[in-house]
Each structure stands twice: as C-alpha cells, then as structure tokens.
Structure 1
Amino acid sequence: MIRLGLNIDHVATLRQARYRHESDSAHAEPDPVPLALLAEKAGAKGITVHLREDRRHIQDHDVRRLRKQIKTVLNLEMAVTPAMVAYALKLKPEEACLVPENRQEITTEGGLDLLGSERRVANAVARLVKGGIVPSLFIDPDPGQIDAAARIGAPCIELHTGAYANARTAAAIRRELERQWAAAEQAHALGLQVNAGHGLHYRNLAPFIETVPHLHTLNIGHSIVARAVEVGMAAAVKEIVAILKAKAQVKAKARK
C-alpha cells in the first residue's frame, strides 16, 4: 500500500500566528509534536517537516522533539544550502527532501531546477547519503528534471503535484494526470523511488493514485490539518488512509 507522510507544518503555522515569539512556551498552541504522534497512531507512516531558513512555521525545537519522539520516519524538507545539509547531518532524520525556497512564497511553489544546479544538488545528495540519510528531490513532472535527478545520484524523487491540484477543467486535470503518469514511469525506469505531494486532498487523491503508477509515499499536509480542525487529527488521517487502502485493494484484485 502507498505510504502516507503527514506534513505537520501547518499546525506550526497556526501556532506562530499567536505565539511567534514564544513558540516553545508551555502555553503555545497547537503543538505539532503530540499531533504528529496522534497521526502516527492513526496510520501515518512518516512525519514531514519543512525547517525553512526564515523559520516561519516549524522551529528548531519542534524538529528536535519530533526526532526524539516519533516512531515512524522523519522526513526533513530543506533548502539546498551548506547550513541545512550540516543541520540534517547532525539531526539524522531518516529522509531529507531537498526543495526550493523563496522568501516571498507562502508555501513551496514549484520544484527544484536541477538543470541549473546539478553540481550543487549532487554535492548535497552525496553528503546526505554518506551520512546515512535517504535524500529525495522535489521536482516538477518534467522529463529533463527526472533525467537530471538520475544523473545526480538521488535514490528518490518527490513529484510536485501542484499543477494537478490547481487544475480546474476536465481537460486540464487529464493533461496533468498524464504528465504525472509519464513522469512516474520514467522515474521508475531509471531506478528512482517515486514519492509525490503538494496540494493533494480528499477529493483529488483517488483519481491521482488510480492513474499514477509506482507511488511509494504521498506527503500531504494542508488538507489533513484543515480537516483535523473539523474532526480531529486521528480521524482526518484515518480518512486518507482509508482511501489509500481502498485503492490498494482495487489494484490487488485487478492483478489477480
């Protein structure tokens, strides 16, 4: 079955709206760490956090506590900088996803441009691998970017699904699903593990996993956190896991 990785960043975003200057105090709420632990119990197979250079939501103390307390996989999203690579090597998450950062963006917009930064990204990937961390590259479903990921030596990519999530017409949705399908097939043929994420939610998830092959992990954040406001974190995670299980059973029957 496809693994669910919960991106917990937006819990911290809500906390920072009120407790920006005292996020580590006892009364700062909501606390992303206990909610991440609830998500694990409900079926999440990993916790993703983006420690941005400007520390706008997740803070260093959040990451340290998650590293100590979660029982599954910690996936650290990070910029491709010497400082963040050094941070990851000290923290030792199981996984690290290299992403672009723009100080003006609200959330990550678009994938890495590997074609313009192969040497820099390859150096970061090599250092992470040597440190026992599995690196992935957050890239658009573009053939040139996927080829570059393979040349760089990354074992894993995360396909940026934002264009699919933002598509509004049937033709646009179909076009973006075809791009994702082709990208996943290409990556798999090159020996890359295929993860995906950005903008996936309860309504667009089923068509995505019905169409796109070779998926290992889906990293979903905003949709689950938003749903958790209504039904609680455990229920919100279980609803996503139920979709993944149902589609896995359909695929298993189709193979028989």
Structure 2
Amino acid sequence: MPVLCVNIDHVATLRNARMGIEPEPVTAAAMCELAGAHGIIVHLREDRRHIRDRDVRTLRETLNTRLHLEMAATKEMQGIALETKPEMVCLVPEKRQELTTEGGLNCIGREQELADFLAPLHEAGIRSSLFVDADPKQVAAAASIGAEFIEIHTGHYADAASHAEQQQELDAILRGIDMAQEAGLLVNLGHGLNYTNIQPFARVRGIQEYSIGHSIMARAIFSGLDQAVRDMANLVRTFTD
C-alpha cells in the first residue's frame, strides 16, 4: 500500500515571512505524524528561504517516522546529510530565482557524477532518490546511477491548462512509472498533487510514496492541519498496493 509523506516547507515559509519563531515546523511535523503521515519531507535550499539547518537537526532528533531531505547535489548538502543522517535524500534541481522547483533533475551526462555524489550517503546507510521528469531518457539515466528510488515530477500534470494536456502528462507519468519499475527502481510521486488530481493514480500499482505539501497546508488553513493530513492519508490508504 502506498503511503503519504508530508512536506512541511510552507510552514517554515510562513514563519520566515515575519522572521519570527512561529509557526514552528517541528510542531507541524509532529501533528502530521499523529494524523497519519509516514514521513516528513523538508527541502533545505541553498538560500535557506524556508527550512533552516536548525529545523533539520531538530527534526532528526524528534521525528518518530522518517525524515526525507530534499537537496541539491552540492558538497555542502552532502555534508549536512552525512551529519544528520535522514532516512532518505532526494536530489532536486535548484535555481535561486524560482518560486518552487520547476522541473526534474537533469541526469543525462551526469550519471557518474551523481553516482559518486551518492556513494558516501549509501555507505552511511542513507537511501536515495532522484527527482526526475517522466522522460524515458531521464528515467534510463537515473536507473544507471544507483539510487534506490526516483520521484517522478508531477508538476506539469498538475499545472496542465486543459483536460487533453493533463491526460497527455498523465500518460507520460504512467509510462515513466512502468519504465522505472522495469529498471528495478522504486517509484514515488510528487509536486502539485492535491485532493482531486491525485485520484487517477488510485489504481496504479507499485507507487511507494506520495510527497505532498502545498495542498495539505492550503486545506489546513480552513480545516486544521490534523484534519487536512487525515483526509489525504485516508485517501492514499484506499489506493492500490
């Protein structure tokens, strides 16, 4: 059965808007766990625009489930991951000017570089994932790097302007899932998924985790964080294993 992992970056975004101390991301993580999240995801960006180093350290000390650290493939982030030892790292592309991650990591031509980057993390017992678009060439490149997982970027599907475009993006994702599984990769999905557009994946076999943040935090404004997580966790729980 697939599980829900909740990204709490937007709690930190709200805290940092006033450069204060609330809302506390660590408290949000505990509430998400109690409501049914199987893991907590944070993206420690180079510019620290939301999650901060202190958040990662405190989460490592307090979580009862799993800590997943999204990060760029830089020496600084590698060192932080080796120090904090999250259960999983997910390598993502990162640009300072973007509002949020705009697409998947380019793995083509970087296979050896990324394999070398992940090697010390694997030696430390940290599992790894690559955040990639549902492009056959990217999936093939990812499969040669040695990561256990890929997380297929669902943002283009979520942002589709028409039903036809959305179906086209969905078909590409489904092909990407099949190809990744045939290559021996475990598959997660994430970016832009909400309570409605997640439904077409209900009968798709082999998805391990759904990485969801923004839509849960948006619903939490109106219904509360506990209920928002429970609603999504219960929805994912009905999906095909």
Q: Does TM, scored on the shorter chain, surpass 0.5?
A: yes
Tell me the equivalent position of 1:218.
Answer: 210
Q: Does 1:244 align with 2:232?
A: no
CA shift digits 1:151-188 (9 cap, x unpaired):
11111100000011011322111111110110000000
Structure 1 partner of 2:11: 11
Q: How does 1:89-168 map to 2 (within 5 A)?
A: 89-168=82-161
Q: TM-score with structure 2 length normalisation? A: 0.97
Q: Deviations over 1:118-166 (max 9, x none)?
A: 2221111212111110010000001111111111111110000001101
Q: Post-superposition shift, 1:216?
A: 0.1
CA contact under 8 A between 1:136 and 1:157: conserved in structure 2? Answer: yes
User: Corresponding residue for 1:185?
Assistant: 178
**What is the letter of the counterpart of residue 10 of structure 2?**
H
Question: What one-letter code is carried by the residue in structure 2 that aligns with 1:15?
Answer: R
- Do 1:136 and 1:155's aligned partners in 2 also have CA atoms closer than 8 Å? yes
Gaps of at least 5 residues in structure 1 are 252-256
Q: Is the 8 A contact 1:181 1:213 kept in 2?
A: no
The number of residue pairs the alignment matches comes to 241
* One-letter code aligned to 2:229: V
User: Larger Rg: 1 or 2?
Assistant: 1
Question: Is the contact between residue 2 and residue 239 of structure 2 (CA under 8 Å) also seen in structure 1?
Answer: no
Task: Report the equivalent of 1:79.
Answer: 72
How far apart, CA to CA, are the structure 2 residues paired with 1:234 and 1:156?
A: 28
| Map of 1:64 onto structure 2 | 57
Alpha-carbon distance in structure 2 between the residues aligned to 1:96 and 1:161:
18
Secondary structure of 1:16's counterpart equals helix
Secondary structure of 2:152's partner?
strand
Structure 2 residue runs without a partner (length 5+) = none
Tell me the distance in 2 between the aligned counterparts of 1:197 and 1:109: 12
Q: Which amino acid is 1:33 matched to?
A: V
Q: Matches of 2:142 and 2:96 in 1, distance apart?
A: 25
1:52 and 2:45 matched: yes
CA distance, structure 2, for counterparts of residue 245 and residue 154 of structure 1? 26
Distance 1:139 1:209 in 2: 21
- Paired with 2:119 and 2:202, the residues of 1 have a C-alpha distance of 31
Give the TM-score taking structure 1 as reference length. Answer: 0.91
Aligned-partner Cα distance in 2 for 1:61–1:121: 26
The question of whether the paired residues in 2 share the 8 Å contact of 1:177 and 1:208 is answered with no
Amino acid at match of 1:143: P
Write the distance in 1 (CA, Å) between the matches of 2:47 and 2:208: 30
d(CA) in 2 for partners of 1:209, 1:198:
17
Deviation at 1:247, TM superposition (A): 2.8
Aligned equivalent of 1:254: none
Query: Higher relative contact order by CA 8 Å / sep ≥ 6: 1 or 2?
Result: 2
Distance 2:3 2:117 in 1: 25
| 8 Å CA contact 2:88, 2:126 repeated in 1 | yes
- Percent pairwise identity: 51
Contact preservation (8 Å) 2:91, 2:130? yes
Secondary structure of the residue aligned to 2:34 is helix
Aligned-partner SS, 1:58: coil
- CA RMSD in angstroms comes to 1.1
CA contact (8 A) 1:185 1:213 kept: no
Structure (1/2) with the larger helix percentage: 1
